[in-house]
């Protein structure tokens, strides 16, 4: 029975240590905690034949039973396919390199999940993200190696009013130590890596189930043919692995792509064409709800775990923004996110366009 006036929090639980400790901390703080497992992808492990989501839900059951909190599993597979995976495939076909984790956070974890939590009368939702909030601003997590504000830049400040990040002020080592001290069965569970529905599998092999391979040419910038590839859409700027190009000299890197002609341009080493001082972006989200005053002097990153880079942001036409970096950036990739910061506060971001 809950205490009168006690706030209810629904915790998005993945079966990992971060969300488990989040639930632990919230219960210790006096909240009425409910665990909710979101099944977003329906597939079996190609090696063991086991359903990976079933294994994760089993971990959620064990943790919630130990914490003595109710828990539920909800199937969001269709919503995930409609709102995330379909757009992901569309972007890949166009030759871009989208980030499905950002789409998942925007449309599933902080939208569909929030609506479900409201239906059961929750005051807040909580996740195991390494971020912080004061109810209005999105703030970097304390652990600089784990900060996940880059992936959450597309949620709104209005949504943040209903979100708690219990471990945002902790470092990962503290989280694991706390889990072990309270004998949570997932204290040493390996962190998940890679795109959620691909995991550690071969990216091209997975995508070929949905996008047919089409042989094309690797060319240098002077149009010299140096090899064959399986489809330009399967490669990303700056890529050096799995190209199948050898020979003496420095490693080959993807420099550019021509999707219409199915050509992937490559050069050896850190070629100057890999670097640029400018980019444009659309689909802009400002967490405050309104754009800042331009020109905006701030810092930005164009990939997760990149150090913040000083830049100037200006407004363009047709909803575009333009970014000029103080120092040229390597492999600015269409489809990826550019995310803006003032000190520790995440201002928002957008999607890089060609």
Residues known to be catalytic = 104, 196
Euclidean distance between the first and the last CA atom of the chain, given in angstroms as a whole number: 56
DSSP H/E element including 228:
strand 225-229
* Cα gap 200→207, rounded to integer Å: 13
Indicate the length of the chain as a whole number: 354
Q: What is the DSSP track for 262-294?
A: TEEEEEESS-GGGEEEEEEEEEEEETTSS--PS
Q: Which of 194, 234, 238, 221 is nearest to 332 (CA)?
A: 238
Distance of CA 197 to the CA centre of its chain: 12
CB atoms near residue 309 (< 10 Å): 18
Among 71, 74, 50, 53, which residue's Cα sits nearest to residue 62? Answer: 71
Instruction: Give the strand order in the sheet containing 263-268.
Output: 225-229, 216-219, 263-268, 252-258
280 and 286 Cβ atoms separated by less than 8 Å: no
The Cβ of residue 255 has, within 10 Å, a number of other Cβ atoms equal to: 20
Question: CA-CA distance, 346 to 332, in Å (whole number)?
Answer: 20
Find out whether 210 and 89 touch, Cβ atoms under 8 Å: yes
Which residues does residue 34 pair with via DSSP β-bridges, in sequence order?
A: 10
* Bridge pairing between strands 8-12 and 309-315: unpaired
């Amino acid at each position: 029975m809950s205490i009168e006036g006690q706030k209810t929090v629904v915790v998005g639980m993945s079966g990992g240590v971060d969300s488990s400790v989040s639930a632990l901390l919230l219960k210790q703080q006096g909240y009425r905690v409910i665990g909710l497992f979101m099944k977003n992808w329906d597939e079996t492990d190609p090696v063991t034949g086991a359903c990976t989501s079933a294994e994760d839900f089993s971990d959620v059951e064990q943790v919630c039973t130990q914490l003595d909190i109710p828990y539920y599993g909800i199937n969001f597979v269709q919503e995930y396919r409609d709102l995330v995976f379909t757009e992901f495939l569309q972007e890949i076909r166009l030759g871009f390199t989208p980030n499905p984790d950002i789409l998942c956070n925007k449309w599933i974890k902080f939208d569909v999940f929030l609506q479900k939590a409201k239906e059961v009368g929750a005051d807040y939702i909580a996740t195991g993200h390494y971020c912080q909030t004061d109810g209005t601003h999105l703030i970097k997590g304390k652990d600089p190696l784990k900060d996940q504000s880059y992936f959450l830049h597309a949620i709104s400040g209005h949504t943040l009013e209903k979100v708690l990040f219990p471990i945002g002020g902790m470092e990962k080592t503290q989280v694991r130590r706390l889990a072990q001290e309270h004998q949570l069965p997932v204290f040493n569970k390996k962190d998940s890596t890679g795109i959620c529905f691909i995991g550690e599998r071969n990216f091209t092999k997975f995508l070929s189930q949905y996008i047919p391979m089409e042989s094309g040419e690797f060319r240098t910038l002077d149009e010299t043919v140096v090899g064959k590839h399986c489809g330009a859409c399967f490669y990303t700027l700056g890529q050096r692995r799995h190209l199948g190009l050898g020979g003496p000299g420095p490693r080959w890197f993807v420099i550019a792509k021509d999707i219409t002609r199915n050509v992937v341009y490559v050069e050896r080493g850190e070629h100057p064409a890999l670097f640029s001082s400018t980019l444009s972006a659309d689909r802009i989200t400002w967490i405050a709800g309104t754009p800042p005053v331009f020109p905006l002097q701030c810092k930005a990153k164009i990939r997760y775990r990149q150090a913040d880079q000083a830049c100037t942001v200006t407004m363009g036409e047709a909803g575009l923004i333009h970014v000029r970096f103080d120092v040229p950036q390597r492999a600015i990739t269409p489809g990826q996110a550019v995310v803006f910061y003032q000190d520790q506060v995440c201002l928002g971001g957008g999607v890089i366009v060609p």
